[in-house]
Amino acid sequence: MSDISLRDRLRAATTESHAALDATVAGWRIETPLGYGAFLSASAAALAPLELALERAGVAEWLPDWAHRARRAGLARDLAALGLEAPPFASATVPDRDFAAGLLYVLEGSRLGARFLARQVRGADAGLPLAYLTHGEGQELWRSFVAWLEAIPKVGFRTDAAEAGARYGFRCFSDAFERLAPSPGSLNVRTGAHVRV
Read off the pLDDT of residues 44-55 as tens digits, 9 standing for 90 and up.
Answer: 999 999 999 999
User: What residue type is 156 in one-letter code?
Assistant: G
The model's confidence at residue 22, banded by pLDDT at 50, 70 and 90, is: confident
Nearest CA among 77, 89, 80 for reference residue 42: 89
Q: Which residue has the higher pLDDT, 58 or 4?
A: 58
The alpha carbon torsion through 140, 143, 145, 146 (nearest 10 deg) reads 180
User: Could you tell me the pLDDT band of residue 149, with boundaries at 50, 70 and 90?
Assistant: very high
pLDDT at site 134: 96
For the chain, domain boundaries = 6-182
Mean pLDDT of 87-108: 95
Task: Give the predicted TM-score (pTM) of the model.
Answer: 0.90
Query: Residue 86 gets which letter from DSSP?
Result: P
Predicted confidence (pLDDT) at residue 2 exceeds the cutoff of 70: no
Q: What is the mean pLDDT of residues 177-184?
A: 85
Best CA proximity match to 186, nearest among 9, 17, 36: 36
Of residues 111, 7, 99, the one with CA closest to residue 50: 99
Choose between 4 and 158: higher pLDDT.
Answer: 158
Nearest-CA neighbor of 90 among 163, 168, 194?
168
3-state SS string for 126-167: CCCCCCCCCCCCCCCHHHHHHHHHHHCCCCCCCHHHHHHHHH
Domain 6-182 has CATH 1.10.287.130: no
